[in-house]
């Protein structure tokens, strides 16, 4: 019966001209990435350069890291560019992701209201900062959307060995920009990636209060869907993109991308996991 | 296909076991939407009564205005209320952005035109003689109006049900004004949007089932009320 349902759906889709063209189409690469990557503007800067030298167009689907990885797991995209190393490596070990490479890194910063009730200003140690936020009973906005940033935030609380009081901790389940807006409205602290922060800082009455801890390091990785599991993905395109983005010229472009004069990403030409694939 | 089945099975599990996170979300949805409808109803009924039985200039224009507002998109309401309530907005001092009260305000704007339009058409069916008789028997205008409203009570309840159905299923305004904050402003629709974006479908499906069930019940109620109204 399910095959009947499936074939009916497929027929309808083909009749409507929906996916018939884009599936298994080798001129497009479907790439899932995180909202923070998309928000930073880096892809608009990089991808045209890839497209001009390769016979592919990249369709970017920007979602939370959890969803991006799920899209890859289910073969709905050809390649993902995300920042959640443990989850990425799990997909590789389960055989869903192949050819994983490190691409670059940026960092997280802790931002909060300008009057800084928790007195974080100038703190470098992220664990200490989290402790100060919890101890001062300050409001904290959590992404709460299973994104790379959310995962990082949870690991910081764990490292700090403290849980914020539940009435001073708000999970919003949305993107970074929204989290910053809500933090600004409610005069709360939050953890943000520097790229999104730089794009939003002029519009918000918040400031960076803690930065520079190696714990706040945020490496990005890229990997392709396993062509053995999903034969209809554009594997050649995905590999071409992975090769290109880790190549010397692309790594140079990443290093030269700036917002307001500030470099956002540091390339990782000899990534820790460069041996994969 | 198996994913759809697995998620649905998991969803039913969540519903049956009374997962507290899930029921908090459902509670917020119903509480906010109910407040929005109940706050709007007296004013909407009053306006609808004036439109149906009053004789004043601009009455037709007002009726058209309310009918136009029926098509008000939730996201436009969301954006407008967001800008009004935002810290930098004119009502920023109220500190209502990302609160349930803020969501109630957004939903009031959404359900008000619907309440007016439906109760207006219900009140139009009331006979003018009811009003005149009540007045002749010594009723005050207020009492006479309540008598007329009582006569078309099923139509008015239908207006309440339809408006509730509109706001509880609405996502744009709730998401923008409420901010989808867990345990505070996360309601059924914003939770579904979130769970889908997280790739966690089970909770989304469970909430979808609740929404569908309540829509079904509301429509049965609506049909029943309309039947009652028509029988008289």
Residue A69: per-residue pLDDT: 92
What residues contact A7, with CB distance under 8 A and at least 6 apart?
none
Closest-approach residue (CA) in chain A for B85: A185
Residue B167 above 90 pLDDT?
yes
Q: Which residues of A touch B3 (CB under 8 A)?
A: 74
State what percent of residues in chain A have pLDDT above 70. 88
Classify residue A191 by its DSSP letter.
E
CA distance A108 to A85: 15
Q: Is B149 exposed, middle or buried (0-12, 13-18, 19+ CB in 10 A)?
A: buried
- Whether A259 and chain B come into contact, CB under 8 Å, resolves to no
Note whether B124 and B114 are within 8 A (CB): no
Nearest to A271 by CA among A62, A85, A60, A36: A85
Residue ranges of chain A assigned to CATH 3.40.190.10? 2-105+219-267, 107-216
- Residue A148: pLDDT band (50, 70, 90) is confident
Mark yes or no for CB contact A146/B198 under 8 Å.
yes
Fold of A2-105+219-267: D-Maltodextrin-Binding Protein; domain 2 (3.40.190)
Q: Check CB contact of A207 with chain B, cutoff 8 Å.
A: no
Name the CATH superfamily housing domain A107-216.
Answer: Periplasmic binding protein-like II (3.40.190.10)
Across A101-105, B2-6, B43-47, B110-114, least confident range: B2-6
- pLDDT tens by residue, A77-86: 999 999 888 8
- What mean pLDDT is reported for chain A? 86
Tell if the CB–CB gap between A173 and B194 is shorter than 8 Å: yes
- A275 pLDDT band, cuts 50/70/90, is very low
pLDDT, mean over chain B: 90
Q: Which range (A189-198, B43-52, B113-122) has the least confidence?
A: A189-198
Average pLDDT over residues B119-125: 93
**Which chain A residues are Cβ-neighbours of B198 within 8 angstroms?**
64, 66-67, 145-146, 173
Question: Is the CB of B3 less than 8 angstroms away from the CB of A74?
Answer: yes
> How confident is residue A19, by pLDDT bands cut at 50, 70 and 90?
very low
| A-B C-beta contacts closer than 8 Å | 58
Count how many residues are written for chain B: 232
Query: pLDDT tens-digit profile of B47-103?
Result: 999 999 888 899 999 999 999 999 999 999 999 999 999 888 899 888 899 999 999
Domain count, chain B: 1
Domain that holds residue B182: 2-231
Instruction: Tell me which chain B residue has its CA closest to the CA of residue A1.
Output: B1
């Amino acid at each position: 019966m399910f095959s009947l349902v499936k074939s009916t759906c497929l027929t309808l889709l083909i009749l409507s001209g929906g996916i018939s063209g884009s599936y298994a189409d080798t001129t497009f690469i479907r790439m899932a990435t995180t909202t923070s990557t998309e928000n930073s503007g880096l892809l608009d800067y990089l991808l045209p350069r890839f497209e001009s030298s390769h016979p592919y167009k990249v369709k970017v689907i920007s979602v939370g890291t959890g969803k991006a990885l799920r899209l890859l797991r289910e073969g709905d995209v050809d390649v993902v560019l995300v920042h959640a190393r443990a989850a990425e490596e799990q997909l590789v070990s389960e055989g869903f992701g192949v050819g994983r490479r490190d691409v670059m890194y940026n960092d997280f910063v802790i931002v909060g209201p300008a009057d800084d009730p928790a007195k974080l200003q100038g703190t470098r140690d992220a664990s200490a900062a989290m402790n100060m936020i919890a101890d001062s009973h300050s409001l904290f906005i959590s992404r709460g959307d299973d994104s790379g940033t959310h995962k990082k935030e949870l690991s910081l609380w764990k490292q700090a060995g403290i849980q914020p009081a539940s009435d001073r901790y708000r999970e919003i389940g949305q993107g970074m920009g929204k989290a910053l807006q809500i933090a600004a409205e409610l005069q709360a602290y939050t953890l943000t990636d520097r790229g999104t922060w730089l794009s939003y800082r002029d519009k918000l009455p918040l400031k960076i209060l803690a930065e520079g801890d190696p714990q706040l390091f945020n490496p990005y990785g890229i990997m392709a869907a396993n062509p053995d599991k999903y034969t209809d993905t554009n594997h050649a395109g995905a590999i071409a993109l992975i090769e290109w983005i880790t190549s010397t010229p692309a790594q140079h472009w990443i290093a030269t991308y700036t917002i307001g004069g500030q470099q956002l990403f540091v390339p990782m030409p000899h990534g820790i996991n460069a041996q994969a694939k | 296909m198996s994913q759809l089945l697995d998620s649905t099975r998991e969803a039913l599990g969540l519903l049956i076991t009374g997962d507290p996170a899930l029921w908090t979300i459902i509670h917020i949805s119903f509480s906010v939407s109910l407040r929005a409808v109940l706050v709007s109803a007296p004013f909407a009924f009053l306006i609808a009564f004036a439109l149906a039985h009053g004789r004043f200039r601009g009455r037709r224009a007002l009726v058209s205005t309310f009918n136009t507002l029926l098509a008000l998109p939730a996201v436009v309401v969301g954006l407008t209320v967001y800008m009004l309530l935002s810290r930098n907005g004119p009502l920023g001092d109220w500190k209502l952005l990302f609160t349930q009260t803020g969501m109630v305000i957004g939903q009031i704007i959404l359900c008000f035109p619907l309440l007016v339009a439906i109760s207006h058409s219900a009140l139009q069916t009331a006979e003018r003689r009811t009003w005149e008789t009540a007045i002749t028997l010594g009723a005050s205008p207020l009492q006479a109006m309540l008598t007329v409203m009582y006569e078309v009570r099923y139509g008015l309840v239908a207006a309440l049900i339809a408006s509730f159905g509109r706001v509880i299923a609405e996502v744009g305004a709730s998401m923008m004004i409420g901010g989808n904050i867990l345990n505070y402003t996360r309601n059924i629709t914003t939770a579904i949007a979130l769970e889908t974006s997280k790739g966690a479908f089970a909770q989304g499906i469970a909430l979808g089932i609740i929404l569908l069930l309540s829509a079904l019940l509301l429509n049965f109620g609506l049909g029943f009320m309309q039947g009652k109204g028509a029988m008289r």
